[in-house]
Amino acid sequence: MALGRYLADRKVSADVVVGLPRGGVVVAAEVARILNLPLDVLVVRKIGHPRFREFAVGALAEDGVVVLDQDMLSTNPAAHEPLDQIITEETLRLRDYERRFHQGGKHELAGRRIVIVDDGWATGATAEAAVKSAQRSRACWVGVAAPVASSPAVERLLPLADEVFVLCNDPEFSALGSYYDEFAQTTDAEVTMLLAVAGGGER
């Protein structure tokens, strides 16, 4: 709720709040409620390193957006070949999630102001992919918001988004769950329910 109040206090003007699944949709639902705006979802998928899948080297988003950490990959060129297979796998998963979460259709983003909300940014890769996806959909203004983020992630997003909103910009960012009193994994069913409850609105 704190993020929603922060955006309201700053009089952020938007047409749609877009959450990044899964955890970001929980935060986005509260933001949408406080700002009295429609809620939607923009599907993103992390691209994990071929040897350490939990370590993100990039991200995918709707509309065919692929973001890769070229600096990291340049020091490990052997990762490129298996990375192609990972991207193929994650693209299939992304399309599956699009079918699950967009059953009621997608909000039109062209010519609209949107706020992309996540539960936090470690590297900023998924948020970057989401921003580029929204821009590819011709949104006229794209803001990004999260309760907590690493300083490098904020620096990464500042040149890309029209505005970046973060409650806690932590230069010593640790595991995301450490910033929450409760950090249970959000399920697909919870995301679907939040979108159904938000329902309605012009699409």
List of residues 6+ apart from 58 with CB closer than 8 A: 46, 47, 66, 67, 68, 69, 125, 129
pLDDT at 201: 45
Q: What are phi and psi of 3, to 5 degrees?
A: -65, -45
- Residue 148's closest CA among 129, 124, 114? 124
pLDDT at 202: 47
- What the chain holds in terms of domains, given with CATH numbers, is 2-44+104-198 (3.40.50.2020), 46-99 (no CATH)
Going 164 to 170 to 176 to 180, the CA torsion angle's sign is: negative
pLDDT at 198: 82
| Spans in the chain with pLDDT lower than 70 | 53, 71-81, 177-179, 181-183, 199-203
d(CA 133, CA 16): 15
pLDDT at 81: 62
Quote the pTM value. Answer: 0.89
Identify whether 95 is preceded by a cis peptide bond (ω within 30 of 0). Answer: no
